[in-house]
């Protein structure tokens, strides 16, 4: 483990290596949840980087640790969870070891959040202007009232919200509007990195599209780095440059987005992609076959062994490490390790449905990379 922690060079969307600045470097991050019958290992020593201007997708089924990872990066893991180790480097500062006060000053300035479930993410008894305003004034000090107002109106405008939202209460807004308020709030201080935690999950399909478009606009206009957490593979395909696949608290695959869809390596990634029901009908990932192990007590060997159709003896004994099997394409699977070297054509693993690659191709067509949503 951790052998990639110093490797800052990772491929971009098209797989080419680049040497852009690392905005976020997560090193051996571990999060446990205390339960009466022992700790649940929610995040088990993960490593990854986010580059300037890059959008990274963090995917996996519910409970895989993706949201916990995001909360750990923000240092907002709620009890009984706690960060028990690792580092979260943001521009050479380790957030994990900061004091509360130092952390508070860095929050939102360096790292903003677009929360999951915008329905409840806004304080119901405060006007929108006050909720965006307090993020600004807390970090920049008091501004002249009209300057602050202008700035908030600009932010609302940037996410496509009308000016009247300024004086409204959250309950007067629709779900999509609330989520766009959250986007406006996230970009208020122009942070280098935004974590968007399933930003569209509670919205209906049409509104999801609008919010996704807003995110894409913002990303392209501001050049902000983003971590997009979600189980909506379609959205991921549209928005992210790289995908990180998590399973049971571990990263099992990191790949440029096209690679991930066209040529998934890890059996779990293959299962994920195969289970995408259809383009038009996005549903939470549901991979029902097999059982996950008890997260309190992980077995020796591979975390996916109980559900893996290709599990071998070594998978039950030795934990596979993330290794690069192509330009910027990493996976943790013994199958490829034993194969000696990565062979693109080697039919060692078959996808659950032969048409997965077709889905993938379809997905990329849906949103054109320059912004406008397809019908």
Partner 1 sequence: MSGMTRGYVVRRFLMWVLTVWLGATLIFAIPRLAPGDPIAAMVLRMSAQGQIIENSAELIQAWRERFGLDGPWYVQYVNWLRNCMTLDFGYSLTQFPARVWEMIWRALPWTIALLTFAVIITFILGNLIGALLGWRKTPPLLRSLLPLTLTFSSIPPFIFGLLLLFIFAYTLDLFPNQGAYDSRNLQPGLTVEFLASALHHAILPAMAIVLTSMGGWALGMRGMMITTDGEDYMILAQAKGLRTPRLFLRYAVRNALLPQLTALALSLGLIVGGSVLIETYFVYPGVGYLLYYSITNGDYTLMQGIVFILILTTATAVLIIDLLYPLIDPRITFQKR
Comparing CB distances to partner 1, the nearer of 165 and 333 is 165
Q: How far is the CB of 78 from partner 1 (least distance, A)?
A: 7
Site residues (CB under 8 A) for partner 1?
71, 74, 76, 78-79, 103-109, 111-113, 115-117, 119-126, 134-135, 138-139, 169, 171, 182, 185
Q: How far is the CB of 172 from partner 1 (least distance, A)?
A: 8
Q: How far is the CB of 113 from partner 1 (least distance, A)?
A: 4
- Is 239 within 8 Å of 219 (Cβ atoms)? yes
Comparing CB distances to partner 1, the nearer of 76 and 163 is 76
Residue 12 contacts by C-beta under 8 Å, 6 or more apart in sequence? 18, 20, 51, 54, 241, 242, 256, 328
Comparing CB distances to partner 1, the nearer of 71 and 237 is 71
Comparing CB distances to partner 1, the nearer of 107 and 209 is 107
Comparing CB distances to partner 1, the nearer of 31 and 71 is 71
Residue 148 contacts by C-beta under 8 Å, 6 or more apart in sequence? 133, 136, 137
Residue 222 contacts by C-beta under 8 Å, 6 or more apart in sequence? 187, 190
Q: How far is the CB of 339 from partner 1 (least distance, A)?
A: 43
Residue 375 contacts by C-beta under 8 Å, 6 or more apart in sequence? none
Q: How far is the CB of 124 from partner 1 (least distance, A)?
A: 6
As a whole number of angstroms, the distance between CA 289 and CA 292 comes to: 9
Q: How far is the CB of 166 from partner 1 (least distance, A)?
A: 15
Cα 4–chain centre separation: 19
Q: How far is the CB of 111 from partner 1 (least distance, A)?
A: 8
């Amino acid at each position: 483990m951790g052998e990639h922690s110093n490797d800052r060079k990772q491929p971009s969307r098209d797989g080419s290596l680049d040497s852009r600045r690392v905005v976020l470097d997560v090193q051996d991050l571990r999060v446990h949840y205390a339960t009466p019958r022992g700790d649940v290992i929610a995040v088990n020593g993960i490593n990854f980087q986010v580059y300037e201007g890059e959008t990274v997708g963090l995917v996996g089924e519910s409970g895989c640790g993706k949201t916990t990872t995001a909360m750990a990066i923000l240092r907002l893991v709620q009890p009984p969870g706690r960060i028990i180790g690792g580092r979260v480097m943001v521009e050479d500062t380790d957030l994990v070891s900061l004091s509360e006060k130092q952390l508070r000053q860095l929050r939102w300035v360096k790292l903003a959040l677009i929360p999951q479930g915008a329905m409840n993410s806004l304080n119901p008894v405060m006007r929108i202007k006050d909720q965006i305003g307090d993020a600004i004034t807390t970090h920049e000090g008091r501004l002249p009232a009209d300057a602050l107002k202008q700035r908030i109106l600009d932010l609302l405008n940037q996410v496509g919200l009308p000016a009247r939202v300024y004086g409204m209460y959250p309950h007067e807004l629709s779900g999509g509007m609330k989520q766009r308020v959250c986007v406006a709030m996230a970009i208020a201080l122009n942070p280098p990195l935004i974590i968007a935690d399933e930003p569209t999950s509670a919205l209906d399909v049409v509104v999801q599209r609008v919010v996704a478009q807003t995110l894409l606009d913002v990303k392209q206009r501001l050049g902000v780095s983003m971590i997009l957490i979600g189980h909506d593979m379609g959205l991921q395909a549209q928005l992210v440059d790289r995908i990180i696949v998590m399973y049971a608290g571990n990263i099992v695959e990191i790949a440029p987005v096209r690679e991930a869809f066209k040529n998934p390596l890890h059996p779990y990634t293959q299962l994920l992609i195969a289970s995408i029901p259809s383009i038009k009908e996005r549903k939470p990932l549901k991979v029902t076959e097999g059982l996950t192990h008890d997260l309190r007590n992980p077995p020796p060997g591979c975390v996916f062994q109980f559900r893996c159709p290709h599990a071998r003896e070594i998978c039950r004994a030795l934990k596979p490490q993330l290794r690069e099997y192509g330009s910027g394409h990493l996976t943790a699977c013994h199958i490829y390790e034993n194969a000696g070297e990565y062979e693109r054509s080697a039919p060692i693993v078959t996808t659950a449905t032969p048409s997965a690659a077709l889905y993938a191709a379809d997905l990329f067509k849906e949103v054109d990379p320059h912004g406008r949503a397809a019908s």
